A and B are shown apart, each in its own frame.
Chain A
Amino acid sequence: MTTIRRFCCNDLLRFTSVNLDHLTETFNMSFYLTYLARWPDYFQVAEGPGKRIMGYIMGKVEGQGESWHGHVTAVTVAPEYRRQQLAKKLMNLLEEISDKIDKAYFVDLFVRASNTPAIKMYEKLGYIIYRRVLRYYSGEEDGLDMRKALSRDVEKKSVIPLKRPVTPDELEYD
């Protein structure tokens, strides 16, 4: 029911019903196009019958040494296609690319501390709250940095939770 393929520019004109959702951010063009130009394999879209866009995931791979990791920037599913495990599928795909192709150590993501439904979902997918980032969202709400270790991190060192919260300027990457 779902064809997952690379996201392309024309999809920007077709993701309206996904992005009108208030929790889905519509970024500026250079943001999307930078992701497409640099990490095209990390920007995937799921299409249903009639070529309807069901959801998409965007991410990147970055870092040095043992913090070489995949990052989930956004993952979203249209209301019509929720409760069908599509987000899981998209996440698994990004994890696989990070693991198999780019040989990253872990995948991470940020989530609003108040977004309980999302946190629960990520936990189900094997993500662990690695640390809290104080006032990460527009200087107001805290963010949670969640991580999942990949096969290269044999001892799962990358996901041992930090004892104390950090501030946004302590983050290694944007």
Chain B
Amino acid sequence: MASKFGLAGGIPERRVRPIWDAIDSRQFKNALKITTTLLSKHPNSPYALALKALILERMGKPDEALSVCLNAKELLYKNESLLMDDLTLSTLQIVFQRLDHLELATSCYEHACGKFPNNLELMIGLFNCYVREYSFVKQQQTAIKMYKLVGEERFLLWAVCSIQLQVLCGNGEEKLLLLAEGLLKKHVASHGLHEPEALIVYFSILEQQTKYADALDILGGKLGSLLMVEVDKLRIQGKLLARAGDYAAAANVYQKILELCGDDWEAFLHYIGCLFEDDSSWSCETINVSINPPKLVECKLAHLTDEVFDSCVENASAFVQKLQSETNNDSLRNPYLAHLEIERRKCLFRKNNDDGLIEALLQYYSRFGHLACFTSDIEAFLQVLSQEKKMEFLDKLMKNSNYLSAVPTKALGQSITLLKTQELIGNMFRLSVSELEGSAVQMVELYCKNLPLSMDLDPQESMHGEEMLSIVCNVLVQLFWRTRDLGYFIEAIMVLEFGLTIRRYTWQYKILLLHLYSYFGAISLAYERYKSLDVKNILMETVSHHILPQMLASPLWADLNNLLKDYLKFMDDHFRESADLTFLAFRHRNYSKVIEFVQFKERLQHSNQYLMARVEASILQLKQSADNIEEEESILESLKCGIDFVELSNEIGSKSLTFNEDFQSRPWWTPTTEINYLLGPFQGISYYPKENWAKERETSVRGIIERKSLLPRMIYLSIQSASVLYKDSIDTNDVVMGVSRGLKPYEVFGSDVIDWLNFAIFFNAWSFNSNEFGQREGKCTHVSWHLVNSLLENYILSKLRSMGPLIQSPQGDLPILVQVVTEPLAWHGVVIQSCVRSCVPSGKKKKKSGSTDQSLSLLSHAVRDAIQSLCSILEEIVRWSQDQIKSPEDNKIDILVSLKTNGQNGGGPGHVFHILETLASSPNEAELGNRISQALRAWSPVDVGRKIITGQSRVLSEFCRICESKIKSLKSLKQQIAQV
């Protein structure tokens, strides 16, 4: 900032420097003092005022800052003789931007440019303003003016990019591209082009209009030499040729690329696509919805005759063989994967080449089976095989397990690959319980046996065989799912904790653990594990799905608040600064990045998780203040009485949502945030391609956001007792009434029970108002109150009574219980508070008289009953929770430890744990090295048990605290209403 010096608005630099110095060192008071002195000498200097505004804004006085800014702006406009300099304007711009008034900054620059039409510096400033406002058309117009003024290539490209933005991100028509093309053509004819990025933009403009031949001409001409890296040039050429339909020439180009970089997998796919005259590898480029592209490489072969297909395969095979023979690098996988791809296409074309593919896969294993990426390498190829054939492949592969490499690390890698391939094919779900147990034991033995391989590794490096414990955990959780023997579950936790004792950095263990702890009701512990992943910045968008849904249903409000706040801050900060970075790309002439940045910002703005988090953050505030109606009202006021969210709810159906969560790292039992197999009975799962859920998920997420974002408004209206919503939803009311009378089981509510309970509560609030203490339907009011009371009572108490001790029944109904108390019950509490307020005469209000008296007494009666009912529900919850917390810790630890040691002598859990215990009890320091031995000695399963119990207790205590606060608030309401 201090570098922005010069003679500003006629003020000498030496007078301004101390101000900037003070600002830079955050001494705002001092800066303000110097500015005040300066202003006494130059009272009408817009620059001095801009500085003052800047300081005021930094001091957290936005209103004062804005008024000073407006003052400066007025002076700028008024004073005809005054010099309009960029320094004054850019200082004002900074303040306006920070005050969220971009339009004011823009109008200052517009005014200045109008006054000094040929000042390039001001025009750049104006262009920058339009970039910040995403006004693509005005960007284009300004850039053209600059181009006309000085004729520089960069301003032409600014205009061209602005046109592209109109077409790609705005509502500009495609024919605008013709204009962009014309501009470029004309400029090239007279001046040529000098920047490689300019050429790339030129190509993209032509490509978007499918003018591939034109682009190829340019590439082959003089301009082509702008691209200095030969391979880059070839890639563009190959793509253009293929898109133009000249597959033979394109295949030649890709062949050249592969000769230059034999390891370029994408180039090979394009090569083979061109050989088969198949354009599918190009058409999938536009798919942008999921962050993980489908693993299966699309291809079309049906248009080929047998002869053509055979000759293509022959060509491809010959070329691949050449590549294989030319590589002298053992780690080059490309030529061998290429062979797999050819075999795969044969399968797809002939349908009878399964054996050929299996053979190729086995060969690939013999060469690369020890690599950790083996399974992800072959995943796409396996997908063309039937389940039967996959099993056949697995059988053959397992026979190989007798021939392991002589190098121990390689042999270990191969063994792990065999296990991972079994997981991939879904074989683990076919094994019997005892086979599974056996395989878990084998794996742990293998892990222990190979620990010495890691003795000399730096603790920061990943250890050999680390993945094994994740696989063991997967197997143990499956055993738990099948047998419902909690011992397996605890064993799974122990295995991972053991792994972390030896190396505390393994994030894969942490993710598995956080899901296990969530399921076990120790959500605070899950959150600890999540925090240790150090998820920050953009990772919050892709990784927080691991914890966020559980936290939303937990009583850990402070932690949830941090989680939501950090995430929203990250996103909002990016939205604020993104345009400045776009301008940076303009300035550095990296035009292709301009488009990319704008598209990326839009992608994040449409993130389903972002929308959800915005709604949930507000709902959390409402939950936290539900015991105090005044606070609740002020929050609602800050939310514009929920109106903005209602708009969101209305729009959501037509809005394009993006899904940026990375689900690849989720455990098998909860592949998306909506699915958790452990909650249902064992059904076995066959191999499932994960991408299929995307569509389903989208619908369900839309529904959730749609409903959730109505909530603040519903609460507001309930307080107001306004009868806007659901006036004609009497049918739904029948369902509510039916259920509350026990006529229909709660299952009709399905998983939306919270929504239904909410609805019943809001409906009650509404009917209270619509009857307006009417005598005719006074009875109905009473009935409706009674219904809500018994709904809540029946639901909560039946859940509570069916819940076993938390330590023996993981998950259970605790999350739903927390949700019912912190949402519907809490909103009911708010309605009650609102009623009490209107019943109890306050100083200002006069007591209502006449016919209202009777209905008032009816209402106060109903409210009294409701308070009583809620209090007794909450007290029962508190009693239950405290019983759980109070039961002695040692007993609970004993339960945990005994659970997993049940079956040491026969079947059942405990074997795996026993092996780890044995290793830890007497580590062989000579074999394992000092560090691992020490870690093993530090291993304490009792500590893990204690942590689980403390974690569960913390969740319960928080829940208790919430309930107690509600009880307290209700009791005081009871006293107030007693006076009526």
Given contacts A3-B266, A30-B581, A52-B376, contact A84 B371 (CB under 8 A): yes
Q: Are B291 and A50 in contact (CB under 8 A)?
A: no
Query: Is residue B946 contacting chain A, with contact meaning CB distance below 8 A?
Result: no
Query: Is residue A117 contacting chain B, with contact meaning CB distance below 8 A?
Result: yes
Contacts of B507 in A (CB 8 A): 20-22
A9 → chain B, closest Cβ, in Å? 4
Q: Are B376 and A29 in contact (CB under 8 A)?
A: no
Q: Kindly name the residue among B293, B534, B593 whose own CB sees the greatest number of chain A CB atoms within 10 A.
A: B593
In the complex formed, the residue of B with least CB distance to A28 is B537
Candidates A48, A49, A82, A117; contact of B460 at CB < 8 Å? A117
A141 → chain B, closest Cβ, in Å? 13
Among B659-667, B766-774, B809-817, the stretch in contact with A: B659-667
A60 → chain B, closest Cβ, in Å? 11
Q: Kindly name the residue among A40, A49, A116 whose own CB sees the greatest number of chain B CB atoms within 10 A.
A: A49
Q: Are A48 and B665 in contact (CB under 8 A)?
A: no
Query: Is residue B898 contacting chain A, with contact meaning CB distance below 8 A?
Result: no
B230 → chain A, closest Cβ, in Å? 11
Q: In the complex, A85→B819 CA distance in Å?
A: 51
Query: Is residue B539 contacting chain A, with contact meaning CB distance below 8 A?
Result: yes
Given contacts A34-B581, A48-B265, contact A13 B538 (CB under 8 A): yes
Q: Kindly name the residue among B376, B458, B537, B570 whose own CB sees the greatest number of chain A CB atoms within 10 A.
A: B537
Candidates A1, A19, A47, A50; contact of B379 at CB < 8 Å? A50
Q: Are B541 and A13 in contact (CB under 8 A)?
A: yes
Query: Is residue B533 contacting chain A, with contact meaning CB distance below 8 A?
Result: yes
Q: Are B379 and A13 in contact (CB under 8 A)?
A: no
Given contacts A16-B543, A20-B539, A29-B537, contact A82 B596 (CB under 8 A): no
Among B61-69, B330-338, B628-636, the stretch in contact with A: B330-338
> Could you give, for residues 79-119 of chain A, a 1 whenever the CB lies within 8 Å of some chain B CB and a 0 otherwise?
11110110000000000000011000000000000011100
Contacts of A9 in B (CB 8 A): 596-597, 599-600
> Could you give, for residues 307-333 of chain B, a 1 whenever the CB lies within 8 Å of some chain A CB and a 0 otherwise?
000000000000000000000000111
Given contacts A13-B538, A117-B458, contact A40 B264 (CB under 8 A): no
Query: Is residue A73 contacting chain B, with contact meaning CB distance below 8 A?
Result: no
Q: Are A47 and B543 in contact (CB under 8 A)?
A: no
In the complex formed, the residue of A with least CB distance to B379 is A50
Q: Are B458 and A116 in contact (CB under 8 A)?
A: yes
Query: Is residue A37 contacting chain B, with contact meaning CB distance below 8 A?
Result: yes
Q: In the complex, A72→B897 CA distance in Å?
A: 50
In the complex formed, the residue of A with least CB distance to B539 is A26
Candidates B291, B332, B574, B584; contact of A37 at CB < 8 Å? B584
Q: Are B291 and A10 in contact (CB under 8 A)?
A: yes
> Could you give, for residues 112-129 of chain A, a 1 whenever the CB lies within 8 Å of some chain B CB and a 0 otherwise?
000111000000000000
In the complex formed, the residue of A with least CB distance to B574 is A29
> Could you give, for residues 282-297 of chain B, a 1 whenever the CB lies within 8 Å of some chain A CB and a 0 otherwise?
0000001001110100
Query: Is residue A8 contacting chain B, with contact meaning CB distance below 8 A?
Result: yes
> Could you give, for residues 21-36 of chain A, a 1 whenever the CB lies within 8 Å of some chain B CB and a 0 otherwise?
1110011111011101
Contacts of A20 in B (CB 8 A): 507, 533, 539, 543, 665
Candidates A8, A17, A26, A47; contact of B664 at CB < 8 Å? A17
Contacts of A2 in B (CB 8 A): 263-265, 334
Q: Are A33 and B581 in contact (CB under 8 A)?
A: yes
Query: Is residue B407 contacting chain A, with contact meaning CB distance below 8 A?
Result: no
Q: In the complex, A82→B291 CA distance in Å?
A: 23
B233 → chain A, closest Cβ, in Å? 13
Candidates B371, B538, B573; contact of A26 at CB < 8 Å? B538
> Could you give, for residues 572-606 of chain B, a 1 whenever the CB lies within 8 Å of some chain A CB and a 0 otherwise?
01100110011011001010110011011001000
Contacts of B333 in A (CB 8 A): 1
Q: Are B332 and A1 in contact (CB under 8 A)?
A: yes
Q: In the complex, A51→B603 CA distance in Å?
A: 20
Q: Are A81 and B373 in contact (CB under 8 A)?
A: yes
Q: Are A49 and B590 in contact (CB under 8 A)?
A: no
Interface residues of B in 535-591 (CB under 8 A from A): 536-539, 541-543, 570, 573-574, 577-578, 581-582, 584-585, 588, 590
> Could you give, for residues 512-541 of chain B, a 1 whenever the CB lies within 8 Å of some chain A CB and a 0 otherwise?
000000000000000000000110111101
Contacts of A156 in B (CB 8 A): none
Query: Is residue B412 contacting chain A, with contact meaning CB distance below 8 A?
Result: no
Contacts of A29 in B (CB 8 A): 537-538, 570, 573-574, 577-578, 581
> Could you give, for residues 482-509 of chain B, a 1 whenever the CB lies within 8 Å of some chain A CB and a 0 otherwise?
0000000000000000000000010100
Contacts of A13 in B (CB 8 A): 291, 538, 541-542, 660, 662
Given contacts A29-B538, A33-B581, A37-B585, contact A49 B267 (CB under 8 A): no
Contacts of A17 in B (CB 8 A): 662, 664-665
Q: Kindly name the residue among B267, B288, B538, B592 whose own CB sees the greatest number of chain A CB atoms within 10 A.
A: B538
Q: In the complex, A112→B383 CA distance in Å?
A: 44
Contacts of A54 in B (CB 8 A): 373
Query: Is residue B228 contacting chain A, with contact meaning CB distance below 8 A?
Result: yes
Q: In the complex, A12→B536 CA distance in Å?
A: 12
Query: Is residue A152 contacting chain B, with contact meaning CB distance below 8 A?
Result: no
B158 → chain A, closest Cβ, in Å? 14
In the complex formed, the residue of B with least CB distance to A31 is B537
Q: In the complex, A32→B584 CA distance in Å?
A: 12
Q: In the complex, A100→B232 CA distance in Å?
A: 14
Contacts of B266 in A (CB 8 A): 3, 5, 47
Contacts of B167 in A (CB 8 A): none
Q: In the complex, A65→B968 CA distance in Å?
A: 74
Query: Is residue B734 contacting chain A, with contact meaning CB distance below 8 A?
Result: no
Given contacts A14-B292, A49-B377, contact A1 B265 (CB under 8 A): yes
Contacts of B331 in A (CB 8 A): 84-85
Query: Is residue B372 contacting chain A, with contact meaning CB distance below 8 A?
Result: yes
Q: In the complex, A3→B238 CA distance in Å?
A: 15
Query: Is residue A38 contacting chain B, with contact meaning CB distance below 8 A?
Result: yes
Contacts of B539 in A (CB 8 A): 16, 19-20, 26
Contacts of B592 in A (CB 8 A): 40
Contacts of B728 in A (CB 8 A): none
Q: Are B265 and A37 in contact (CB under 8 A)?
A: no
Q: Are B662 and A14 in contact (CB under 8 A)?
A: yes
Given contacts A1-B265, A49-B377, contact A37 B593 (CB under 8 A): yes
In the complex formed, the residue of A with least CB distance to B294 is A50
Q: In the complex, A111→B560 CA distance in Å?
A: 36
> Could you give, for residues 664-692 of chain B, a 1 whenever the CB lies within 8 Å of some chain A CB and a 0 otherwise?
11000000000000000000000000000
B568 → chain A, closest Cβ, in Å? 14
Contacts of A27 in B (CB 8 A): 537
Contacts of A85 in B (CB 8 A): 331
In the complex formed, the residue of B with least CB distance to A79 is B462
In the complex formed, the residue of A with least CB distance to B607 is A13
Contacts of B388 in A (CB 8 A): none
Contacts of A21 in B (CB 8 A): 505, 507
Q: In the complex, A50→B291 CA distance in Å?
A: 12
29 contacts between A and B (CB under 8 A): A1-B337, A1-B377, A9-B596, A12-B600, A13-B660, A13-B662, A16-B542, A16-B665, A19-B539, A22-B507, A26-B536, A27-B537, A29-B577, A30-B581, A37-B597, A38-B590, A48-B376, A49-B265, A49-B337, A49-B376, A49-B379, A50-B379, A50-B380, A51-B292, A51-B293, A52-B376, A54-B373, A80-B373, A85-B331
Closest 7 CB pairs of A and B: A9-B600, A1-B333, A37-B585, A3-B266, A33-B581, A37-B584, A20-B507
Residues of A within 8 A of B (CB): 1-5, 8-10, 12-14, 16-17, 19-23, 26-30, 32-34, 36-38, 40, 47-52, 54, 79-82, 84-85, 100-101, 115-117
Residues of B within 8 A of A (CB): 228-229, 261, 263-267, 288, 291-293, 295, 331-334, 337, 371-373, 376-377, 379-380, 458, 460-462, 505, 507, 533-534, 536-539, 541-543, 570, 573-574, 577-578, 581-582, 584-585, 588, 590, 592-593, 596-597, 599-600, 603, 660, 662, 664-665
13 additional A-B pairs beyond A1-B337, A38-B588, beta carbons within 8 Å, are A3-B264, A9-B596, A13-B660, A20-B665, A21-B507, A22-B505, A26-B536, A29-B537, A29-B574, A34-B581, A50-B295, A50-B376, A116-B458
